[in-house]
Amino acid sequence: MLELTASALAQKIRDREISAREAAETANHRVEEVEYRVNAFLTPTPYVALERAGRIDERLQNEGIQPWEGVPIAIKDVLSTRGVRTTCGSKILEDFTPIYDASALVNFGEDLVMVGKANMDEFAMGSSTENSAYGPTRNPWDPDRVPGGSSGGSAAAVAAGEGWWALGTDTGGSVRQPAALCGIVGLKPTYGRVSRYGLIAFGSSLDCIGPMTRDVRDAALLLQAIAGHDPLDSTTANAEVPDYLADLEGGVSGLRVGVVKELMDERIDAGVREVVERVVGELEAAGAEVGEASLPHAYYALEAYYIIAPAEISSNLARFDGVRYGLREPADGVHEMYRETREKGFGDEAKRRIMLGTYALSSGYYDAYYAQAQKVRTRMIGDFREALSSYDVLISPTSPSVAFEIGAKTDDPLAMYLQDICAVPASLAGIPAISVPGGLSEGLPVGVQLMSDHFTEPLLLRAARAAEEVADFEFSPRP
């Protein structure tokens, strides 16, 4: 059963060849078997999974189920889950239990077969899942290496077979980069395609909830389940949700594919470039029209992102003050209580970004930093508009390197931030982007990133499926 994709397992559940409870039992057993080596979960929920799977089986007999129901899933611990602890990987929310589910989970109803809440960098701030207050997640390909971040727990859970798919969140690459490092598929939808209601905010103008899956078909099916307008989130698009599976096998014949030259330079490891170039060559052989695309402001995207995102962090994390929910440290006076609570509740990276953001928004520096960063963001959007007028899909590496060793970059925040150079441009522009495994370098997975215009996920998924078909990679649960 562990070798099946989520789509194949869902079909077998609907055909009653496998019960949802059997699938949940298999996932729970796998968690027990490998979790001590991976640490993918902050809160495993085996009994929740079994109870809900039992209800799925009952409904299947009486009324039928949705195509995505019954398949065990891991949920990043930044998404609110009613009655189940939600920590954001932070001590400040160690005992927080939400009273409602995130809107992205609504289409699963009361019967979401959740095997656990997945580990993550604290408040989604990081590229390695080493910033979790509850210990790092380890890459199932090599336990001495990081799984990427911030959705590293979700990526590792899928790669290790602890669930058939997962939900992560992507603010500057946090779905795509860990997917690349763990050898799975990670999709960041268009900003506004999936509701953010119930997602504990990091960067409100950037945050996206996205599927992390074994293959592109699974990503399309999971996106089908979570996409749509939500009156509880004013930033969701009031647009019809297409059938993401309809044109999935359409191939790339006649498709215009642009290789982004700024994301294929010397900053990218040679082995990673080689894998991407091989996939591009195979797509051209399959009928794609390949050329060179340019995003001139991509060189400034990382700097702009690390001003805009911390500014939004500074605002969003102000709510964690010890008054309404979460950790509260006793102290003499309210200001001292604020100080003690935030000092003990937040980790080093959260404090670093809060301070960066507060500085960028402060009097005298707003125009010098934040306003300038927003201008770069506008230029970045223009770059994509220009490039996508000539090409249907843009292609690049997802990450500049394969998974690095745990601890290798923790003392150098700038080196860690540079892991986002390929992912951040699409985040600033709000366009959809997907990472698919393209092959191996140094015996570790390399992700190939594809990007397309706003709300063109059907086209993007079709191209990604074609890239997956020509890639020198085959998924197998590890370890």
Q: Do 82 and 109 contact (CB within 8 A), yes or no? A: no
Look at residue 112 in the predicted model and tell me its pLDDT. 97
- For range 73-99, the mean pLDDT: 97
The DSSP 8-state label assigned to residue 397 in this structure reads: E
Residue appearing with tokens 């077998």: 12
Task: Kindly report, residue by residue over 410-444, the tens digit of the pLDDT.
Answer: 999 999 999 999 999 999 999 999 999 999 999 99
User: For the chain, which domains are there?
Assistant: 6-255 (3.90.1300.10)
Q: What's the full length of the chain, in residues? A: 479
Does the pLDDT value for residue 325 go beyond 90? Answer: no
Task: Kindly report, residue by residue over 53-83, the tens digit of the pLDDT.
Answer: 999 999 999 989 999 999 999 999 999 999 9
Q: Enumerate the H helices of 236-370 as residue ranges.
A: 270-285, 298-316, 334-345, 348-361
Q: How far is CA 430 from the centre of its chain?
A: 14
Task: Kindly report, residue by residue over 372-394, the tens digit of the pLDDT.
Answer: 999 999 999 999 999 999 999 99
Mean of all residue pLDDT scores within the chain: 97
From residue 475, how far is each of 39, 80, 439 by CA, in Å? 20, 30, 11
Dihedral angle at the C-alpha atoms of 137, 141, 146, 150, nearest 10 degrees? -70
3-state SS assignment for residue 208 = strand
Name the residue among 142, 148, 139, 137 with its Cα closest to residue 175: 148
Known catalytic residues are 76, 150, 174
Look at residue 104 in the predicted model and tell me its pLDDT. 98
Burial class (CB in 10 A: 0-12, 13-18, 19+), 373: buried
Look at residue 109 in the predicted model and tell me its pLDDT. 87
Distance CA 449, CA 84 (A): 34
Distance CA 40, CA 57 (A): 27
Q: Which residues, 6 or more positions from 222, have their beta carbon under 8 angstroms from its beta carbon?
A: 6, 68, 165, 167, 211, 213
At 285, which amino acid appears? A
